[in-house]
Amino acid sequence: MNAAEVIRLLEDKGWSEVRQKGSHRIFKHPEKQSIISVPIHGSKDIATGTLKSILKTAGLK
């Protein structure tokens, strides 16, 4: 799963981008206190461990 697919999934679940720093986009949810950092590296897939962490924090897994 690449960054564009993860971002689309997060935005569909109510997460919104609050800022970008370098090659990472930072997302926040209006009802949750945590933030999610999504690495952007072109069309390359996000590393498995990073992807699992993003999905767990977002409450999707």
pLDDT of residue 19: 97
Q: What is the DSSP letter of 11?
A: H
CATH architecture of 3-58: 2-Layer Sandwich (3.30)
Per-residue pLDDT reduced to its tens digit, 3-32: 999 999 999 999 999 999 999 999 999 999
pLDDT for the residue numbered 16: 97
Q: Which residues of 33-56 are buried (b: 16+ CB within 10 A; e: fewer)?
A: eeebebebeeeeebeeeebeebbe
Q: Domain ranges in the chain?
A: 3-58
pLDDT confidence of 61, banded at 50, 70, 90?
confident
